[in-house]
């Protein structure tokens, strides 16, 4: 493993996200990574993002349900609440 990969892997674990600037800075400081390392980091980054998006609490669901009852259908507020309700009901 390269030093760049080790640094970015630790950063992803701590920060739960990697920006293109993070990657570019690490590559500039420690050199490029292998193709396998780049692929692994991108895969892990997507897993972390999906995990963060998927954790909808019961409280969030109930609040979103109230918004669906009161907000005008088609409004941005309605659409966001509908997305939360749908994800929760799908078990995400």
List pLDDT tens digits, range 9-38: 988 888 878 888 888 999 999 999 999 999
Higher per-residue confidence, 68 vs 1: 68
Looking up tokens 């193709």 gives 35
The pTM of the full predicted model, rounded to 2 decimals, is 0.54
**H-type alpha helices, the chain:** 3-15, 20-30, 35-54, 58-70, 76-89
């Amino acid at each position: 493993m390269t030093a760049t990969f080790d640094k970015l892997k630790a950063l992803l674990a701590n920060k739960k996200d990697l920006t293109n600037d993070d990657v570019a800075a690490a590559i500039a400081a420690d050199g490029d990574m292998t193709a396998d390392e780049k692929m692994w980091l991108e895969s892990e980054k997507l897993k972390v993002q999906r995990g963060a998006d998927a954790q909808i609490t019961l409280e969030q669901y109930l609040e979103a349900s109230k918004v669906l009852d009161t907000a005008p259908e088609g409004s941005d507020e309605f659409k966001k609440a509908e997305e939360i309700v749908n994800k929760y009901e799908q078990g995400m």
